[in-house]
A and B are shown apart, each in its own frame.
Chain A
Amino acid sequence: MNTLTLASEAFGQMTLGHYLLLSGVLFALGLIGFLVRRNMIIMFLCTELMFQAAAIAFIAFDRYHGGTSGQVFVIFILTIAAAEAALALALVVLLYRRRATLDADAWTELSG
């Protein structure tokens, strides 16, 4: 038995909960990043981090319950993320041309 097999026996079994916890931590990090940062492009990057977390959860459930529906849904997540990135970045570039800053606080008069 090589080292990896010995190590894997020491580490215990992998449950679905491991992957869901990782997905939860990444989602919480993305959520915190979205609320904290003020650079518009980095805010969209943090939503992409939340997409990654959801993709991990989908693939984990897919592996633990058979079938391929989870992986197909992750393909659609990639599609939506690409479409959203294209349009969001186009809008951000337009906003940047207006105020010459990427600060989200420059647009506070849009609220309430």
Chain B
Amino acid sequence: MDQLTVFITCAIAAVGMYLLLAMRSRAGRLTGIIVGLAALFWLVIRLIGNGEVDGSPDPAAGGMPQPLFYVFALIAIGAGARMITHDRPVYSALYFVMVVMSTASIFLLLEAEFMAFALIIVYAGAILITYLFVLMLAHQAPTESEGEVTPEYDRIPHEPASAVAVGFLMLALIGQVVFQRPSAMPPQPGNEERLAAIAENVNILDKKRDAIIAAFSSGEVDLPEDVIVGEILGDRIIFIQQTNNVPREVTFAQAGLTQEEVMDLLPENIEEVGLALVYKFPVSLELAGVILLMAMFGAVVLARKQIELGEDEQRQAAGMQRLSEDVEEGGSI
């Protein structure tokens, strides 16, 4: 997909988005939706089948079926578009929950299980609930004559033409970068780098390392005692003796293990993330805790009831207790 096509697709999608935002009539909005969907499906059709699959998908490469990506991506984009155009703010928050769910599903496709569920728990379960509470607290009571009418600032968008132009220009630039040099984007998940990174982590997690060494020491393979896991490749593991740095290569077949069994022995995603947090990013972890503490302080300070000036004097005149005791009055309270 060359650069001109990217810009034309983004321009068509921009027109569709503008019609969806700015038109008040139902026919205008429907036209906008159709035009936007046309641009989106044109992009999807260009993306599908852009390469050849050689042989069966490698299970170690995490080959989840690709159609699921398109399903979740379209749900996310549709929910996002509906979120920014909906009249009622509570519906916008609920469509955002749908975006969070589809994002979590895409994380599952990318084999980041901990992040998927952390996203659901924190975002959909805490942040969005807070937003919904505040939206319902700030709901303005409808006037008696008009009944339930959404406020004007929700219904009428604010300069849709320039906003849509800016947004889709940026998207066209991103698309240009993605489509410009297809050779720079790796066609498959980087299995070798992933396994190399896992090999580092395995040596730190003692139980996993011992389990792998025990599994590979069975049968005719005779591993010396003080080995660490040097490198994990697609069908073999290279152990390194610690005393004299002699590498020792053992294939999965020699140890009598299938590839799935070896992949089960490797650390899970949550173990890797936990190890990375504590082992490689300890200062950032502490700073994140400090940021949350500061946010809590800030929220408590901001939510305090503001006592107006002069209220103390009014209360004293009425014979009630003063609320604050800064000023010495001499009398007892």
Contacts and interface: CB of A to CB of B under 8 A. Distances in A.
B is bound to A: yes
A80 B288 CA distance: 8
A36 B163 contact: yes
A2 B106 CA distance: 22
B317 interface: no
Interface string A75-108: 1101111111111011111101000111111000
Interface string A12-41: 111111111110111111111101111101
B66 A81 contact: no
A112 interface: no
A93 B80 contact: no
Contacts of B277: 72, 75
Given A12-B49, A31-B166, A45-B83, A39 B89 contact: yes
A25 to B, nearest CB: 6
A39 B101 CA distance: 24
Contacts of B292: 79, 82-83
B115 A86 contact: no
B211 interface: no
Interface residues of A, number: 81
B50 A13 contact: yes
Contacts of B84: 29-30, 32-33, 36-37, 42, 46, 49
A83 B47 contact: no
Interface of A: 4-5, 7-22, 24-33, 35-39, 41-42, 44-46, 48-49, 52, 55-56, 59-60, 62-69, 71-72, 74-76, 78-87, 89-94, 96, 100-105
22 contacts: A8-B65, A12-B48, A12-B66, A14-B188, A15-B187, A17-B179, A18-B69, A18-B73, A24-B178, A31-B163, A37-B84, A37-B154, A41-B138, A42-B89, A45-B83, A49-B83, A62-B110, A63-B110, A63-B112, A68-B273, A72-B273, A72-B284
Nearest 8 A/B pairs, CB to CB: A33-B84, A66-B193, A83-B295, A35-B163, A24-B174, A32-B167, A28-B171, A90-B302
